[in-house]
Structure 1
Amino acid sequence: MSLTRREMISKLAAGTALGLGTLGLGLGWLAGPAGAQEARTVSMDDVMAAGVEDEHTLGDPNAPVTIVEYASMTCSHCAQFDKETFPKLKEQYIDTGQVYFIFREFPLDPVATAAFMLARCIEDKDKYFPFVDALFQTQQAWAFGGDPESGLFRMAQQVGFTREKFEACLTNQEILDTINVVKSRGIEEFDVRSTPTFIINGEVVAGALPFEQFEERLRKHLPS
């Protein structure tokens, strides 16, 4: 039986609230823009162990630098990073074998959760990052245009979703659980507090830095 939009969104909201409630956190605490934070480091062994089986990655796993991004699809700072910084990062460091990039879901609301679920449901895995990029590029239109479910469906149609497949994806408990696990581990193990948050060879960097500033952080970890 097909679910109504309200039923789909309610189920997503319940799943997200469950994940946050277990940690005693509220959406308001998580949704603020990333500001300057005290420098800190985490173990890269722990960071890599926290990944799920279906990690979304780009580049050479043996690259000297590994960057993990925790992002939300409805985060304007994440969209800014995707538009302004990531293309240069990919061209100059990921595509040249110097950086291994891992993208992890950290949805701040049910709409972001739905977007991540759709990305995971794409059958052609080579289309995952192009779809994520398209969502970031058009974020204002689909996420904040007053009807995010219709906006997401229009975006999903561009990568082959039918209405039936769209609804099946958004009611897939296994995919929802996987996304919640990724997010929960980010909070519990690495104290991720906002999006975007990056871990660069163990150094935690919060915020959508301009490319020049991001590159400065990155180059510290490259072999001399």
Structure 2
Amino acid sequence: MKNFYIIILAVAVIGAGVVFYAIRGGSPALEPVDLGELGNAEMLELAQPAHVFGDPDAPITIMEFADYQCAGCMRFAGLVKPQVDAAYISTGRARLVFHDFPLINLHAHAFLAARAARCAGDQDRYADYHDLVFDTQNGWSVMESATGHFKELATQLELDADAFNDCLDSDRHADVVTANMRLGQAAGVNSTPTLFIHLGGGQAYQLGGAGFLDIQRAIESAGSGN
């Protein structure tokens, strides 16, 4: 897994910058985009563990940087991800790697939500909690405090409440969430959701959109060499 991140975030070094390829505006043409200077291997290591949906050895990797309080990320989780699941993840063609990228200047509860999901992950329920947080976003995103709601979600999943609450009430996982944010910033991420696709062979592609057709077009276009 670590080698994958070194590949996807260091595809081609030109001077102080790193070049990815982006698919923009539905065009099949692949255009180079300078994402600026990236961090070192230590930064990549600090951002682990990343959460993987699907077969860790799948040949295609879809990398998502997302914010739990972002409306577009909620739509991606509820509408697009199931389509990606059916077409690519459940078939073993691709894996989805989720990275926290809370937009803390815009969303007051996003960082806590990312930590809460990782607290659930301590009890091997990350994926279920991830889905519940997005499913209930319209409610908790407007609360003055979302802590009680996040604890209630843990109860719904029948997690060990004491262990979850102790985790959430501490600063556990704050360092990993912060490292994921820095990783995204180093890659030029400035909005959510932002997606990258890696098909092997040392090439990575940044998508210009986050719809299912954007993902499908990226995989097909990149795979054909267009």
Please give the alpha-carbon distance, in whole angstroms, between the structure 2 residues aligned to 1:118 and 1:158.
14
Whether 1:124 and 2:126 are equivalent positions in the alignment is no
Counterpart for residue 215 of structure 1: 216
Deviation, structure 1 residue 185: 1.4
Residue of structure 2 aligned with 1:63, choices 58, 62, 73: 58
Q: 2:179 is matched by which residue type in structure 1?
A: V
Which structure 1 residue ranges, 5 or more long, are not aligned?
1-34
Higher RCO (CA 8 Å, separation ≥ 6 residues):
1
Change (3 A) 1:96 1:111: same
Deviation, structure 1 residue 170: 2.5
Deviation, structure 1 residue 178: 0.9
The CA RMSD measured in Å over matched residues stands at 3.0
From the two aligned structures, give the one with the greater helix fraction: 1
Deviation, structure 1 residue 87: 0.1
Q: 1:213 is matched by which residue type in structure 2?
A: D
Please give the alpha-carbon distance, in whole angstroms, between the structure 1 residues aligned to 2:142 and 2:216.
31
* 8 A contact 2:65–2:193 mirrored in 1: yes
From the two aligned structures, give the one with the greater strand fraction: 2
The number of aligned residues is 184
Residue of structure 2 aligned with 1:205, choices 194, 204, 207: 207
Deviation, structure 1 residue 145: 4.1
Identity %: 27
Q: TM-score, normalised by structure 2?
A: 0.70
* Correspondence 1:94-109 to 2 at 5 A: 94-109=89-104
Counterpart for residue 20 of structure 1: none
* 8 A contact 2:113–2:150 mirrored in 1: yes
Q: TM-score, normalised by structure 1?
A: 0.70
Please give the alpha-carbon distance, in whole angstroms, between the structure 1 residues aligned to 2:190 and 2:210.
14
* 8 A contact 1:70–1:106 mirrored in 2: yes
CA offsets 1:15-43 (integer angstroms, 9 cap, x no match): xxxxxxxxxxxxxxxxxxxx97x954589
* 8 A contact 1:141–1:151 mirrored in 2: no
Deviation, structure 1 residue 70: 0.3
Which structure 2 residue ranges, 5 or more long, are not aligned?
1-23, 199-203
Please give the alpha-carbon distance, in whole angstroms, between the structure 2 residues aligned to 1:223 and 1:124.
41
